[in-house]
Structures are given as C-alpha cells and as structure tokens.
Amino acid sequence: MDLKALGYFVAVVEKGSITAAAEACFVAQPSISHAINKLEGELQVPLFTRQPRGVKVTEEGHVFYREAKGLLNHARSVQSLFKNRAQNGLLTVSVARSIAFAYLNELLSQLKRIDSLLDVRLIHQTEQADIRLTVERDASVDDVFIPLWQDQYCLIIPAENSLAYKHPISLDDLDGQSIIERVYCDRSAEWTEFLRTNEISVNVAASVDNEEWALSLVEAGVGVAIVPLPQTADYSHRFVVKALSEVVGMHSIRRTVGVAIPIKNLENPSIKGVKQGLVKVSMSE
C-alpha cells in the first residue's frame, strides 16, 4: 500500500468522481482507477460503487478514508520534520577548556529555544566549529562575539581547609597552600607572576587541563584554586567560594563569556539565525 495510491483514493472521496480527482492530481483517469482497484484488491473490500455520474463511497470506504487521511497527514508531518532538519543542517559547537559546564548547559538550552530542530553536535576545540563557546579575550578580529554572561575570579577552598572559615584572608595565608594549577587558563601566566612578585610560594598539588577537573579536585580536598565562576551559580554545596576582592592584597577580576562566530560562517542562514537569536539574549541588549 503506497502513499500515492492513498492520495488518489482520498482525492476521489473528496472530489466525488474519478474524473475530478484526476484533474486535481494532474494525472490521467486510468492512473486513478488503477490505484483504486489495487487498494480494493489489497483490502478485499469495495471502496466505491460506480454510478453513471461519479462514484459513491461504501461503508468500508468511509472507514478507510479516515484512516488514509490520518496516514497521509502523518506522512506529511514526518516529511516536514526532516525537510526542516535538512534545511537547518548541522550546527557544530566547540567549548573552550576554561568554560564550566553551567555555561554549556545554558547555551544548549538557548539554542533549543532559538530553533528546536537544530542538530547540535559538540566537537573538540581544536576542530573548526560553526560557533565557539569561549571568553571574549579569545575571540579574533575574524569573529563576531556575542557576550552572554559575566563571571568573576574566585578563590575556591575545600570545606575542610583552614582557610575556609578565615576572614579576612591575606596573601600571606596563601603561602604554602596546596593549589590546583589550571594550565589552560588565559590568565595562568599572570597569576604565576603575581605570586612570584609577592613572594608567595605554593605547592602545586595537581595540574589540570579543563575547568571541571579543577572544580572536582578542590571539592575532593586536594587543594585550593583560583577560577572564574558564573555569578548566578551556587557552588556552596561543593566548596567554599570567596571573591578575590575578599583576599587582602588582591582585586576583583571579571571576564565575559559568550559565543564567537567566524564572520564567514554567517553566510549560512541557519548560523545567521542562531546569531540573531543569541543577540536577543545578549548582555549588550
């Protein structure tokens, strides 16, 4: 049983005759008659009674009409779904190692709201992606950068560490502390130089290459770390968080997180639509 035959059958029912159905479907009358005969043979029931002027739908034909109509509507919805997916295409997203999962989750939610049919794939940051979740400092002149969030650098401390409940904390309190080294951070060199200038000696307990490892190791009590955290996220159940401004001798440092899109990629209508959707929720709006 094929969809074309179902379409011809529905046309005959709705138009009242094979002649009218053939005109509506832009086919010859024999094609319609052949399809009806084939359906009646498969179903083993008469769908029409032939009359001098047109045809009359049988009782079985009325039942079959409702089913055929439903099948055709479902087929059109499936075709529409995959046609839209083909038009929207694949959207590849890379994520900088310094980005916390909280931002990735929020971006994926935003993309879903912009276009529920987008086929989003995460790829490694070394690959060429359609869009990149990154920090503003890493966007190039060939990118359009859309600022979405702002976070601040914080000192995060294991709950059992003596610094967790010390207030205020001074730079001297950091001397001799075990620290989680974030080698991927764009400010890593600045932080190392700051410690050297202030004659602060720390023990590197671990060197990690992504944000989630740093957070997890602090939570596990391995050491302290200085990391940028989303201002809206609550990490109090994992470790103690202190803004850098709470450490005597340090000042507040913020960064902007968002999406970088290579300008050349905006020739793709789908990516251009994503850009327009993200701009609507941008910090700059």
Taking only the tens of pLDDT, the chain with its 285 residues reads 688 888 998 998 998 888 888 888 888 999 989 999 998 888 888 988 888 777 899 999 889 898 888 888 887 776 665 555 545 568 999 999 888 888 999 999 999 998 887 889 999 888 899 999 999 999 999 999 999 999 999 999 999 999 998 989 999 999 999 999 998 887 888 888 888 899 999 999 999 988 889 999 999 999 999 999 887 788 889 999 999 989 998 888 899 999 999 999 999 888 999 999 999 988 654
Quote the Cα angle for 187-188-190, to 5°.
65
Q: Is 285 within the bounds of a domain?
A: no
Q: Residue 224 carries which side chain, given as an amino acid letter? A: V
- Please state the three-class secondary structure of 97-154 as a single string: CCCCHHHHHHHHHHHHHHCCCCEEEEECCCCCCCEEEEEHHHCCCCEEEEEEEEEEEE
Residues 158 and 240 occupy one common structural domain? yes
Task: Quote the tokens at residue 151.
Answer: 């976070």
208 and 93 Cβ atoms separated by less than 8 Å = no
Q: Are residues 198 and 58 in the same domain?
A: no
Does 140 lie in the same domain as 181? no
pTM of structure: 0.64
Same domain, 220 and 166: yes
CATH number of the domain at 40, please: 1.10.10.10
Query: Are residues 82 and 95 located together in one domain of the fold?
Result: no
CA atoms of 282 and 139, how far apart (whole Å): 16
CATH number of the domain bearing residue 263: 3.40.190.10
- Looking from the CA of 209 toward its CB, the CA atoms found within 13 Å total 1
